[in-house]
Amino acid sequence: MTKLSSIAYYVTEKISSNDISLSEYVTTDCILQNKQGREVATNLPPQTCSLIRYQCGDILIANIRPYLKKIWFADIDGGASSDVLVFRAKEGHSPSFLYAVLLQDSFFDYVMQGAKGSKMPRGDKEQILRYEMPTLSYSEESIGTFFQNIDYKIRLNEKINQNLEAMTKQLYDYWFVQFDFPNEEGKPYKSSGGEMVWNEKLKRKIPKGWDNCTLEYFLTIKNGRDHKHLAEGVYPVYGSGGEMRRVNENLYRGESVLMPRKGTLNNIMYVDEAFWTVDTMFYSEMKVPYCAKYIFFAIKDIDFTRWDSGTGVPSMTASTLYNLPMIKPHKDLLKRFDKTITPIFYKMKQIRVECEELTKQRDELLPLLMNGQVSVNSDLSHD
C-alpha cells in the first residue's frame, strides 16, 4: 500500500482576486455535487482577497461537507477560495491518475471518517494525505486517461443537453414572448402583421383570441412527502436542489412541473416519468392537455424569491403560485408547441440516461482497477 502523500501535495501558492476573471474563480458552491464537475461562480469576492492559485491539471475538492463529493479536474488556471483543497500530482506521477484516485467513493468515505464538525464537517488535511491505495504494477497513465475519457464524454453530453435546452427556450420565446408562432400560412404571426390586442390585466398586447388567466387554470399543485422510510430503488426523489436519491415507490407518474416550496425557490423542473418529491417540493398535475412544457418555460425565469414568505429558510406557498398571472394561448397552439419540442426533450432524456450509465460504469470500475482486479487495455485508454 502507498499513501496519497507519495503522489500528491496541496497547492499553497496565492493569487489576488484582482488578477482573475469570474470564469476562473472557484468556490465550494460552484463545484457540483456527486462528481459533476463545476459551474461558473455567480460573482467574484466583494473585496480584494488572497486565493489559492490553481493551474490546469490540478484537482479541486470542496472541503466543506465532503459527503457531497464535490470534485473538479481543472482545465484552466485560476484562483480558489480557502475551503477548496487544491491537489497537484508530484513529479513523475500522472494528474489524470491522481484524479482517478480522488474520484473514488472510498476516498470521500475516508475523508468523512476524519472530518471535524457536525453541521458543517470539514476534512482533516493531514488525515487526507494519509489515504492509502494499492501499489500498482501497471501504468498510472492508462488508468487516469481511461477515466478522463469517460468524464470527457459525460461533460460533452451535458453540454449537448445545455444547447438543446437553450434551443427549446428560444423556440418558446419565439412563440409565446415575441408572438411569432407559425400562423395558418406558416409565417411568423406578429412579424407578418397578426392582430394584437391590449389586455388590461396583463398590461400588454397579446394575439387576438388569446386571454389571461392564472397558473391555477393549467394545473393542480400537490405536496411532496417524506421519503426516509422508502427503500432504495429506481424512482428519482426530487428536492429543491435536484435529484436526491432513488427509491422503490413513486408518488406520481407522468408529466409534471416541480416547484420548490422551501430552499432554492427558483429551481423549477420539468419531468416526465415516475417520481417522488420531498415535502419541500411541490409537484403538479396538468388540467390542460399539452401544457406542461409551456408552463415550465413560462415560470422558469420568474424570480420566486420576491414572494419568499419565510423568515428563515426561503419558502413558497401554493396560493402564491396559483395566483401567478399567465398568458392563455389557444389550446391547439399548445398542442403544436408540444409536438414541436417533444422530440428534443426525448433526445435530452436519452442523453441523460447515457450519462447515468457512464457514471455508474465509472464508479463501478474505479475500485476494481485500483485494486488490480481488472486492467485497462492501453488502446482503450486512448480511444
Q: Please tell me whether residues 123 and 168 are part of one structural domain.
A: no
Q: Please tell me whether residues 226 and 326 are part of one structural domain.
A: yes
Q: Please tell me whether residues 187 and 308 are part of one structural domain.
A: yes
- CATH code: domain of residue 167: 3.90.220.20
C-alpha cell at 62: 470542496
Q: Please tell me whether residues 33 and 181 are part of one structural domain.
A: no
Q: Please tell me whether residues 85 and 7 are part of one structural domain.
A: yes
| For the chain, percent of residues with pLDDT exceeding 90 | 75
Quote the CA–CA distance of 134 and 329 in Å, as a whole number: 63
Q: Please tell me whether residues 175 and 109 are part of one structural domain.
A: no
Check: CB of residue 113 under 8 Å from CB of residue 128: no
Check: CB of residue 111 under 8 Å from CB of residue 132: no
Residue 19 lies inside a defined structural domain of this protein: yes
- At CA 279, angle to CA 349 and CA 169, rounded to 5? 35
pLDDT band at 213; cut points 50, 70, 90: very high
Quote the CA–CA distance of 337 and 213 in Å, as a whole number: 19
pLDDT band at 88; cut points 50, 70, 90: very high
Strands in 252-260's sheet, in edge-to-edge order, are: 219-222, 281-286, 252-260, 269-277, 232-239, 242-247
Q: Please tell me whether residues 191 and 116 are part of one structural domain.
A: no
49-70 per-position pLDDT tens digit: 999 999 999 999 999 999 999 9
Q: Please tell me whether residues 98 and 24 are part of one structural domain.
A: yes
Q: Please tell me whether residues 103 and 195 are part of one structural domain.
A: no
Residue 209 lies inside a defined structural domain of this protein: yes
Q: Please tell me whether residues 127 and 191 are part of one structural domain.
A: no
Q: Please tell me whether residues 218 and 309 are part of one structural domain.
A: yes
Residue 318 lies inside a defined structural domain of this protein: yes
Domain boundary among 340, 361, 376: 340
The count of domains in the chain is: 2
Residue 382 lies inside a defined structural domain of this protein: no
Instruction: Confirm whether pTM is higher than 0.75.
Output: yes
What is the residue range of 265's domain? 162-340
Q: What is the average pLDDT score of the chain?
A: 91
